Amino acid sequence: MPLPSCIDWFRQTLLKKPKRPDSPESTSSRTSQPPSQDRLSPSLSLVTSPSLPPTHASDSGSSRWSKDYDVCVCHSEEDLVAAQNLVSYLEGSTTSLRCFLQLRDATPGGAIVSELCQALNNSHCRVLLITPGFLQDPWCKYQMLQALTEAPGAEGRTIPLLSGLSRDAYPPELRFMYYVDGRGPDGGFRQVKEAVMRYLQTLS
């Protein structure tokens, strides 16, 4: 290489400023600290954090809501009007009881046996509307026997309501249970409601 060229090459090399390698501290500081406008204060992050869904007081501490219905009203077809009046009384009270009425709440197309069994299993209490028609209806007797299969552990859940019958006609299968006398001015509806509420209070 000629001498002038060598001198020029050394001059250019010496005039070049070497690049300083980034130190670990400077690199980490740049990567760990976001721009000031993107940083959120702790108080602001608490405000914008998602909150848990509210828990209803009625959904906690009580097993009442573990079943779909509070009451299943068992009745014969000829006693449908009386059953509807009872359900209207129970649902319209301040307690807002959830009632199962077969012709209203059964699934269309469902098998009768399956629907009756599900209604009994999904209800806390069973009201047996015992009338002359009840005693002659095989499905009513089936529901009564199904309800009795849970005795004696189901004390207070089965509530017989005797209407239009004398005590002598009271079914022998229920002789170990007290019944509600339907000959009163309100047809025994108030006593039925009180019996249901008494049982529901044991669940809370």
| Complete DSSP assignment for the chain | --HHHHHHHHHHHHHSPPPPPPPHHHHHHHHHS--GGG---HHHHHHHSPPPPPPPGGGSS-SGGGSSEEEEEE--GGGHHHHHHHHHHHHHSTT---EEEHHHHSPTT--HHHHHHHHHHTEEEEEEEE-HHHHH-HHHHHHHHHHHTTTTTTTTTEEEEE-S--GGGS-GGGTTS--EETTSTTTTHHHHHHHHHHHHHTT-
- pLDDT at res. 54: 34
The CATH class, in words, for 64-202 is alpha beta
- pLDDT at res. 64: 86
- pLDDT at res. 146: 87
**CB neighbour list of residue 184: distance below 8 Å, 6 or more residues apart:** 191
- pLDDT at res. 57: 40
* 162 burial type by CB count under 10 A (0-12 exposed, 13-18 middle, 19+ buried): buried
- pLDDT at res. 95: 82
Tell me how crowded residue 127 is: count the other CB atoms within 10 A of its CB.
29
Query: Which two three-digit tokens encode residue 113?
Result: 């046996």
Q: pLDDT higher for 90 or 35?
A: 90
Confidence of residue 200 (pLDDT cuts 50, 70, 90): very high
Task: Quote the pTM value.
Answer: 0.68
CA distances, 33 to each of 20, 25, 195, 196 (Å): 22, 12, 68, 65
Confidence of residue 123 (pLDDT cuts 50, 70, 90): very high
- pLDDT at res. 41: 40
- pLDDT at res. 151: 56
- pLDDT at res. 155: 79
- pLDDT at res. 112: 87
Q: What average pLDDT does this structure show over 67-89?
A: 95
- Per-residue pLDDT for 46 more than 90? no
Kindly report, residue by residue over 131-142, the tens digit of the pLDDT.
Answer: 999 999 999 999
| Most confident among 14-23, 30-39, 86-95, 128-137 (mean pLDDT) | 128-137
Q: What average pLDDT does this structure show over 95-114?
A: 91
- Per-residue pLDDT for 97 more than 70? yes
Confidence of residue 39 (pLDDT cuts 50, 70, 90): very low
